[in-house]
Amino acid sequence: MHELSLAQNILETVRQNVTADELSKVREVVVEIGAFSGVVAESLKFSFEAITSGTELNEAVMTIVDIPFCLKCNDCGSETSTEIPMMLCSICGGINTQILSGDELRVKELKLAEE
């Protein structure tokens, strides 16, 4: 994967959402990663650390929230989670399904130190 470029996107989002003064107060960047987003969490964290160390964001760490794969079947109504994300319902074999979660790659929130 291309975690470094993703980390750069995240950095840009952080900068857009805080003032210049607040930047050095950012302590946590919370990122949601879905089970089949294809992103390697450790590598994303590493990349983020690499591009922020020695900057105003030196103290900011990335926290990952893992989001499981979840499928809803519109035929039998079940909500299931399989290890491999399958859109075929594992309960009734129905194909009329929708993915509820698992594809996320999202900056959820920032946590800032208060004075």
Partner 1 sequence: MEIIKIERKVLAKNDAIASEIRGKFEENGVFAINMVSSPGSGKTSLVEKIIEYFNGRVNISVIEGDVQTDLDAQRVSAYNVPVVQIITNGGCHLEANLVNDSLKNLDLVQTDLLIIENVGNLVCPAGYDLGEDMKVVVISVTEGDDKPLKYPKMFINSKVLVINKIDLLPYVNCNIEQLKQNALKINPALQVFEISCTSGEGVGKFCDFLESSI
Q: Beta-carbon neighbour count of residue 76 at 10 Å?
A: 14
Q: Which is nearer to partner 1, 9 or 53 (CB)?
A: 9
Separation CA 33–CA 38 (nearest Å) = 9
Six-digit token pair at 78?
Answer: 């079940």
- Segment 73-102, which members bind Zn ion (CB under 5 A)? 73, 75-76, 89, 91-92, 94
Q: Is 103 in the site for partner 1 (CB under 8 A)?
A: yes
* Beta-carbon contacts of residue 70 (< 8 Å; ≥ 6 apart): 79, 80, 81, 99, 100, 101, 102
- Among 92, 99, 100, 101, the residue binding partner 1 under the rule CB under 8 A is 99
Q: Enumerate binding residues for partner 1 (CB under 8 A).
A: 1-2, 5-6, 9-10, 13, 17-18, 25, 27-28, 31, 36-38, 84-88, 95, 97, 99, 103, 105-114
